[in-house]
Amino acid sequence: APDGSQQVADLWADPNVMVAFFSRVSPLRPLTIGYQTAMLRLEQEGGLPDTIKPEKVAMAIFSATKAELSQDRQQAIAQFLPSDGLRQMWEQA
């Protein structure tokens, strides 16, 4: 059975086969998803009810994820997030 950190890492695996493929074969050009794109994808692909805002879901995901990680891991993740709002959301969670 995978440990807790592997289970958390699995949450971030993109189920879109093409995105996952290109992420692996193109390490020199990392796929960066900004705040607006992340919220749009969550809204469109997350199966959210109309009454639930994607920002609320993202905060819940970030909070649950951070609860499973050490402070060092949390800081490392923050460094990879774009500073257009996602990093601030992560830090507030």
For the record, the structure tokens of 67 come out as 């609860």
Whether pLDDT at 48 is above 50: yes
Residue 1's pLDDT is 47
**More confident position, 25 or 60:** 60
Q: What is the pTM of this model?
A: 0.67
Across the chain, how many H-helices and E-strands are there?
Answer: 6, 0
Q: What is the mean pLDDT of residues 69-76?
A: 91
Q: Please report the sign of the dihedral spanned by the C-alpha atoms of residue 48, residue 33, residue 77, residue 19.
A: positive
Whether pLDDT at 63 is above 60: yes
For the record, the structure tokens of 65 come out as 């994820």
Contacts of residue 8, Cβ cutoff 8 Å, sequence gap at least 6: 65, 68, 69
Residue 10's pLDDT is 64
Q: What is the mean pLDDT of residues 48-76?
A: 92
